[in-house]
A = this chain, B = another copy of it.
Amino acid sequence: MAVVVMKFGGTSVANVERIRNVARHVKREVDGGNKVAVVVSAMAGATNQLVAWCKEAAELHDAREYDAVVATGEQVTAGLLAIVLQSMGLNARSWTGWQVPIKTSAAHGSARILDIPGDDLRARIDSGEIAVITGFQGIEADSERIATLGRGGSDTSAVAVAIAVNADVCDIYTDVDGVYTSDPRIVPKARRLPKIAYEEMLEMASLGSKVLQTRSVELGMVYKVRTRVLSSFAAPSAMKPFNVFDIEDIGTIVCDEDEIVEQQVVSGIAYAKDEAKVTLLKVDDKPGVAARIFGPLAEANINVDMIVQNITPDGRQTDMTFTVQAAELARALDVLKKAKKDIGHFDVKSSADVVKVSVIGVGMRSHAGVAAKMFETLSEKGINIHAISTSEIKISVLIDAAYAELAVRSLHSAYGLDSD
């Protein structure tokens, strides 16, 4: 017997027929002797409709009221799934965020989960009651008002529930059947990874492979929650109930890197298209100039990613290149214009026609030459690199968008990731 948390996203519960399919997945686990908590998203499209109504009501709206409105989506799904499970003869009940309670911070619209008192919930689950819990939301402990976690928050809800009830596994059912070495839409030879380390998954998630929400991976990593990514569209009967001693080779397990026996040097190639490059030319190279550039951007809540600085030949001036989200490029340029009197002279160039390509793998900690192979591969294809940034387990380069597919496919082959 294991305690299994199962999370189903919006497309998996898009209508009552699909909710019935979800119920069959749940029934398989129960029939197999497992104890189950289910975390559900809103029916696909529901949240968009609710958000659209809020926007129509007022462009700038109270985040607390927005939360009260959009949180209804998951409540509908949870009730409907409980009804379907009961109709299959299973013992189930729905729980809203405030009923559990899932206690959150006061940052309405993007709240963080602070605490889930799990003892009562675990006792109910142990007694055989299936807990169907609304994802994406909780209750702000002080004000007792509904708070939502932001888009994709249901993944985080699921991992947090898994921690609270000390579950053996957190199964995230999605519309893909696992995490791949790269995006299969552009790399036909991409392979499903049977296992991936939390840190690699974090880099993948933050780099555009949005299989899991970043926060959920962080939480899973800190609390060592074994997380599986599975397809909800697979036939429920074709899968085996979860067994901690005999885990099926299905989906992708996100786990500690120690658990991954045959670790590759590189696990995957990710890319992010929504980047924009800003270059400030001929900035006076005096102390504090970086702070005067990036301070105002941070204040305006604009996230700066890669930063590269070059000195001009005479050493008196510097060129500064950095990237921001493409959607924030206009606002970033506006902030820089207003900060010009503090920064001093500069010319500015910008482009949204760039893409960030990254090579990821915990194995590169102990292997030299990973970066060299990346530069060599891109150079062979005549691809120019605008900027480079590295972390312990990742190397990212910024290149022209036109070369994105070529770069990803070439790197996928170069690191031996292609399927046979």
The answer to whether A86 has its CB under 8 Å from any CB of chain B is: yes
| 17 examples of A-B residue contacts, CB within 8 angstroms | A19-B57, A53-B80, A57-B83, A57-B84, A58-B83, A58-B87, A61-B86, A62-B83, A65-B82, A65-B86, A66-B79, A68-B94, A69-B75, A69-B76, A69-B80, A72-B76, A99-B145
Chain B CB within 10 Å — which of A50, A82, A83 has the most?
Answer: A83
Flag if B94 contacts A57 (CB, 8 Å).
no
Complex CA–CA separation, A155 to B145 (angstroms): 25
Number of interface residues of A (CB under 8 A): 38
Q: Is A392 an interface residue (CB 8 A)?
A: no
Given contacts A53-B16, A65-B93, whether A58 and B86 have CB atoms under 8 Å apart is yes
A146 to B98, CA, bound (A): 11
Complex: A13 Cα to B87 Cα, angstroms? 34
Chain A's interface: helix, strand, loop or mixed, by majority? helix
Please determine whether A82 and B62 come into contact, CB atoms closer than 8 angstroms. Answer: yes
User: Is there an interface contact between A16 and B56, defined as CB atoms closer than 8 Å?
Assistant: yes
A98-B98, A99-B144, A144-B99 as given contacts; A68 in contact with B78, CB under 8 Å = yes
Give the Cβ gap from A235 to chain B, nearest Cβ, in Å: 21
Chain A interfacial positions (CB closer than 8 Å to B): 16, 19-20, 50, 53-54, 56-58, 60-62, 64-66, 68-69, 71-73, 75-76, 78-80, 82-84, 86-87, 93-94, 96, 98-99, 144-146
A185 CB to closest chain B CB (Å) equals: 33
Which residues in B have their C-beta under 8 angstroms from that of A65?
79-80, 82-83, 86, 93-94
